[in-house]
Amino acid sequence: RQRGKRADSPCQRGKRADGPCQRGKRADGPCQRGKRADGPCQRGKRADGPCQRGKRADGPCQRGKRADGPCQRGKRADGPCQRGKRADGPCQRGKRADGPCQRGKRADSPCQRGKRADGPCQRGKRADGPCQRGKRADSPCQRGKRADGPCQRGKRADGPCQRGKRADGPCQRGKRADGPCQRGKRADSPCQRGKRADGPCQRGKRDDGPCQRGKRADGPRQRGKRADGPCQR
């Protein structure tokens, strides 16, 4: 017997005979590796029906979304028991009835809590003018938001100088024009980056022949003992 290779049988070492015991790929049938036979028990995706994985049958028991009705998940039926929002009235959650007892807001006066009376002393927003908080007078240099024009903050004028997106052309940022300058993909040729052209230079899969990667041709170049030739180890 050859070294590192058992006698010709369905259990050859490194590459089993073509049949239901192939290595890494079982025969087409209910025992395929990583994919069960087509039926209600497929691996990773169950048959369409009440047992789908990650999505139950359409009905009152859907996963993550209950049937439309008073028991929806995350949103109760419209009425005085809504979740996160009580019925419209003086007891709303997070916002009391309009009046002198509002939550976080005192009676209407220039000293309301959390929100001052409308005027030049509002909290967090000064009167409209050159002294606004966090926003200077209307000019091309406003703080936090520049005037509309080619110098806007975070978004330059539409043109070849946009921030984070260059003008449409062969030099766009993050996605170059289709052609020989694409990012992460060279010009169409047998040596493209990340995915070589279909042919003898494919990445991760050599052309069909005696030098295939991970599966050599049947013959003296089998895995485990290579014959003298272009595929010597």
Check residue 191 and give its pLDDT.
Answer: 45
Q: What is the pLDDT along the chain (233 residues), one digit of tens a residue?
A: 455 555 555 555 555 445 555 554 444 554 455 444 455 444 444 445 544 544 444 454 454 444 455 445 544 444 544 544 444 454 454 444 445 445 444 444 444 444 444 454 455 444 444 444 444 444 444 444 444 454 454 444 445 444 444 444 544 444 444 454 444 444 444 444 444 444 544 444 444 455 455 444 445 445 544 445 555 55
Taking the complete model, does pTM exceed 0.85, yes or no? Answer: no
The one-letter amino acid code at 218 reads D
State the Cα–Cα distance between residues 46 and 171, nearest whole angstrom: 45
Three-class secondary structure assignment of 90-142: CCCCCCCCCCCCCCCCCCCCCCCCCCCCCCCCCCCCCCCCCCCCCCCCCCCCC
State the Cα–Cα distance between residues 81 and 14, nearest whole angstrom: 65
State the Cα–Cα distance between residues 225 and 223, nearest whole angstrom: 6
Contacts of 128 (CB under 8 A, 6+ apart): none
Check residue 184 and give its pLDDT.
Answer: 47
Query: For the chain, what are the domain ranges?
Result: 35-109, 150-199
